[in-house]
């Protein structure tokens, strides 16, 4: 593996990790923008804009874009979160240049009114689709309740109303502010020719204008509010818990992800033994989510209406016990083994590697080898995890439940 990096005059950063033995290559544009960078008036614009990038440029129609990608056999797509919008493709090495060239063009989209108006329907269908997925809906609502006014609580999709009110003009303004070269990283992983990637970027991206781009980076403790929302067509109780944690820049993020594994991995965790193994809940998991300047532990639990109180009592006991007695050495060892295997397996694929590479640069402006991350995970001690529990008190959570109408 060989790492390369370069910065263009307009501050667009290009990074690459070359692995000549890989059968494929992956490329991605990591744009540091998402729903937390939106105001209420334009809520949903980052995600809607992600869709609009596929609608082409002054020279390419939407169909021509899709055809150009499909001619290379690329597995390509994009995703938007609270703070990142990522455009990526995994492809056979011989097509990487073509695909990268296409992406560089699409990063300066036409944003035509007519495409905007058709795509608005698709966005509203996507909002409707997630309404029918309570496991997603409950997280979205809980995030909003937890961050309680902090921009990290903004919905990624936006609401039907905010999308209805959004105009192509507002989107164009947002694009001009956020898609500046100094707010974007171009990353490549796998089997590819570094010099060629750099020359494409130099040709296509040099004219992009540097801008002053900001983001509010306040830390959030979370509201710790508790709410329940009823939906008559539901049959199960969906519960989301959120509490504060360390940020993506914090060295303690490795300890935080191990703590998440100990409390709430799908199997073998405390949630698993107390809730799932005993058949009190059919799903119970907790994950650490690192964000820019802040972070959160987020749990999802699903159970029957009859079991809700029992389940919540047990959850409280799990967190109390964690607070009082901490974790055991062998629990940490098991968590490390699981995290390490998953990390190594994921990074064997250029597409998996691309994601870690791009986000490490986005948050830290640093290159980390897989070995760096492996060593950082191995170095976490029981005391590190205990300090984290003491400081963040994961049992002090915001709670949102979504379930059927209760008989009163």
21 secondary structure, DSSP code: T
User: Is the CB of 109 or the CB of 134 nearer to other proteins?
Assistant: 134
Element (H, E) at 98: helix 96-106
CA dihedral 39, 181, 81, 61 (to 10 degrees): 90
User: Is the CB of 133 or the CB of 387 nearer to other proteins?
Assistant: 133
Give me the residues that bind other proteins (CB under 8 A), please: 21-24, 54, 62-63, 66-67, 69-75, 90-92, 95, 118-126, 128-129, 131-135, 232-236, 238, 267-268, 273, 276-279, 281-283, 302-304, 330, 333-334, 337-338, 340-342, 344-345, 348-351
* Cα–Cα distance measured from residue 357 to residue 342, given in angstroms and rounded to the nearest whole number: 16
Total length of the chain:
408
Report, in Å, the least distance between residue 62 CB and other proteins: 6
Spatial neighbors of 280 by CB under 8 A, at least 6 apart, are 274, 303, 307, 310, 311, 314
Among residues 71, 54, 170, the alpha carbon closest in space to that of 105 is found at: 54
Among residues 49, 65, 68, the alpha carbon closest in space to that of 57 is found at: 65
Among residues 332, 93, 46, 113, the alpha carbon closest in space to that of 197 is found at: 93
User: Is the CB of 128 or the CB of 364 nearer to other proteins?
Assistant: 128
* Cα–Cα distance measured from residue 216 to residue 37, given in angstroms and rounded to the nearest whole number: 8
Report, in Å, the least distance between residue 161 CB and other proteins: 15
Report, in Å, the least distance between residue 12 CB and other proteins: 26
Report, in Å, the least distance between residue 7 CB and other proteins: 30
Report, in Å, the least distance between residue 23 CB and other proteins: 5
User: Is the CB of 107 or the CB of 262 nearer to other proteins?
Assistant: 262
User: Is the CB of 342 or the CB of 387 nearer to other proteins?
Assistant: 342
Report, in Å, the least distance between residue 90 CB and other proteins: 6
User: Is the CB of 126 or the CB of 221 nearer to other proteins?
Assistant: 126
């Amino acid at each position: 593996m060989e790492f390369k990096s370069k910065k263009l005059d307009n501050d667009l950063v290009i990074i690459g990790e070359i692995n000549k033995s890989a059968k494929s290559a992956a490329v991605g544009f990591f744009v540091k923008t998402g729903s937390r960078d939106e105001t209420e008036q334009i809520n949903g614009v980052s995600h809607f804009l992600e869709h609009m990038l596929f609608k082409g440029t002054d020279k390419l129609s939407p169909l021509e874009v899709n055809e150009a990608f499909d001619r290379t056999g690329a597995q390509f797509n994009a995703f938007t979160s609270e703070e990142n919008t990522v455009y990526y493709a995994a492809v056979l090495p011989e097509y990487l240049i073509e695909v990268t060239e296409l992406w560089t063009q699409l990063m300066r989209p036409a944003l035509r009114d007519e495409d905007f108006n058709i795509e608005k329907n698709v966005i509203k269908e996507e909002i409707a689709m997630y309404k029918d997925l309570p496991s997603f809906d409950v997280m979205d609502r809980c995030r909003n309740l937890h961050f309680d006014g902090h921009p990290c609580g903004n919905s990624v999709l936006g609401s039907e109303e905010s999308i209805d009110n959004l105009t192509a003009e507002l989107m164009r303004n947002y694009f001009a502010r956020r898609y500046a070269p100094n707010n974007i990283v171009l990353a490549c992983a796998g089997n590819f020719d570094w010099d060629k990637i750099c020359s494409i970027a130099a040709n296509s991206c040099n004219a992009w204008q540097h801008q002053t781009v900001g983001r509010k980076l306040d830390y959030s403790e979370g509201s710790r509010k508790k709410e329940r929302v009823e939906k008559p067509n539901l049959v199960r109780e969906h519960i989301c818990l959120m509490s504060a944690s360390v940020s993506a820049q914090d060295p303690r993020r490795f300890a935080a992800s191990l703590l998440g594994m100990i409390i709430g991995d799908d199997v073998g965790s405390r949630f698993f033994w107390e809730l799932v193994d005993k058949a009190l809940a059919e799903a119970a998991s907790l994950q650490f989510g690192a964000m820019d300047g802040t972070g959160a532990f987020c749990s999802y639990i699903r159970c029957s209406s009859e079991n809700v109180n029992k389940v919540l009592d047990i959850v409280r006991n799990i967190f109390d016990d964690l607070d009082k007695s901490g974790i055991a050495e062998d629990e940490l060892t098991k968590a490390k083994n699981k995290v390490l295997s998953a990390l190594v397996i994921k990074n064997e694929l250029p597409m998996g590697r691309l994601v870690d590479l791009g986000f490490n640069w986005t948050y830290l402006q640093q290159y980390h080898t897989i070995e760096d991350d492996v060593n950082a995970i191995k170095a976490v001690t029981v005391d590190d995890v205990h300090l984290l529990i003491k400081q963040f008190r994961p049992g002090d959570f915001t709670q949102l439940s979504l379930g059927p109408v209760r008989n009163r």
